[in-house]
A and B are shown apart, each in its own frame.
Chain A
């Protein structure tokens, strides 16, 4: 394969940036979900009972 260092550099950089963005988003989401449950123990029920929230919003 010609120009291998350039190709490897481009693919490596892509893997680095994509994994950083993906992992950062995933870890942040998990951390926030955990914090929300810690702040309000009922948050899990309320936060996932979206249908009830939708109905309440539509009634308003």
Chain B
């Protein structure tokens, strides 16, 4: 971006483009990453251990409720990951931020992994509690749609010969797909579902007893930090891959 363009860019856009500098991003990311990885792993392992061995069993679900320590963080990250993917897609479409395309591309597979884990662990929880591996319940179906949206996003990016066109099409798909997020959240309110309502909300007090709650909070915070660490590492690699491609192209042009 030249100085003239910078002078006419709105203040918000200028702030964003400050972080479009790959060098600045790599410096920031390499500093932040250890603070995500190690505390994330520690919190997650403590949370999972406490969830398995310290938290008391539920009086109705007995030990099957321990699947919650895997299922809930995966569900939260699948949804939050898609919010991040949609936000990156919006930034990509509006400001043409060069890192936003890469961020959306790198969030996709990690979010898809979380959505798959959420569905699989939910299925393993559903079988002993509901007597079925799967029911076409509003919550389960909307999360399955979220998983397909992630897969669609990954495939659309790769479907075009011109990567820029792939990024644009995937960004539009991601923004349209964001409509699934409020549906997931309110599916247990709008429809009569087998899936229980949310036990943790931002506005109300939790409906889980503290001895069961604290390992869950550790798992959620730890898994979120690990999610951030994995996405940051993938994004750093993607920025460097782009740099390698540019260098190889320049070397080929020089040789030719």
Residues of B contacting A11 with CB < 8 Å?
Answer: 48, 52, 70
Q: How far is the CA of A35 from the CA of B245 in the complex (A)?
A: 11
Question: Which single residue of chain B is at the shortest CB-CB distance from A16?
Answer: B117
Contact of B124 with A6 in the complex, beta carbons under 8 Å = yes
Question: Which single residue of chain B is at the shortest CB-CB distance from A40?
Answer: B247
Residues of A contacting B127 with CB < 8 Å?
Answer: 6
* Chain A binding surface SS class: helix
B141 in the interface, Cβ–Cβ < 8 Å?
A: no
Contact of B240 with A6 in the complex, beta carbons under 8 Å = no
B181 to chain A, nearest CB (A): 21
Known: A13-B120, A50-B27, A53-B23. 9 other contacts (CB 8 A): A2-B63, A10-B125, A25-B229, A29-B234, A32-B241, A43-B243, A50-B26, A60-B2, A60-B3
Partner of B113, one of A3, A21, A43, A47: A21
Contact of B62 with A3 in the complex, beta carbons under 8 Å = yes
B24 in the interface, Cβ–Cβ < 8 Å?
A: yes
Contact of B70 with A39 in the complex, beta carbons under 8 Å = no
Taking beta carbons and an 8 Å cutoff, which residues of A are in contact with B? 1-4, 6-7, 9-11, 13-14, 17-18, 20-22, 25-26, 28-29, 31-33, 35-36, 39-40, 43, 47, 50-51, 53-54, 57, 60
Contact of A6 with B67 in the complex, beta carbons under 8 Å = yes
B145 in the interface, Cβ–Cβ < 8 Å?
A: no
Do A7 and B62 form a contact, CB below 8 Å, given A25-B230, A36-B240?
no
B121 in the interface, Cβ–Cβ < 8 Å?
A: yes
Give the residues from 37 to 65 in chain B that come closer than 8 angstroms, CB to CB, to chain A.
48, 52, 57, 62-64
Question: Which single residue of chain A is at the shortest CB-CB distance from B231?
Answer: A25
* Chain B binding surface SS class: helix
B71 in the interface, Cβ–Cβ < 8 Å?
A: yes
Residues of B contacting A53 with CB < 8 Å?
Answer: 21, 23-24, 27
Give the residues from 185 to 238 in chain B that come closer than 8 angstroms, CB to CB, to chain A.
226, 229-230, 233-234, 236-237
Residues of B contacting A22 with CB < 8 Å?
Answer: 226, 229-230
Contact of A9 with B124 in the complex, beta carbons under 8 Å = yes
B122 to chain A, nearest CB (A): 9
B19 to chain A, nearest CB (A): 10
Question: Which single residue of chain B is at the shortest CB-CB distance from A28?
Answer: B237
B146 in the interface, Cβ–Cβ < 8 Å?
A: no
Contact of A29 with B233 in the complex, beta carbons under 8 Å = yes
A-B contact pairs, 23 of them (CB 8 A): A3-B62, A3-B64, A6-B67, A7-B67, A9-B124, A11-B48, A13-B70, A14-B48, A14-B74, A14-B121, A28-B233, A28-B237, A29-B233, A29-B236, A29-B237, A33-B240, A35-B240, A36-B240, A36-B243, A43-B243, A50-B26, A53-B24, A54-B23
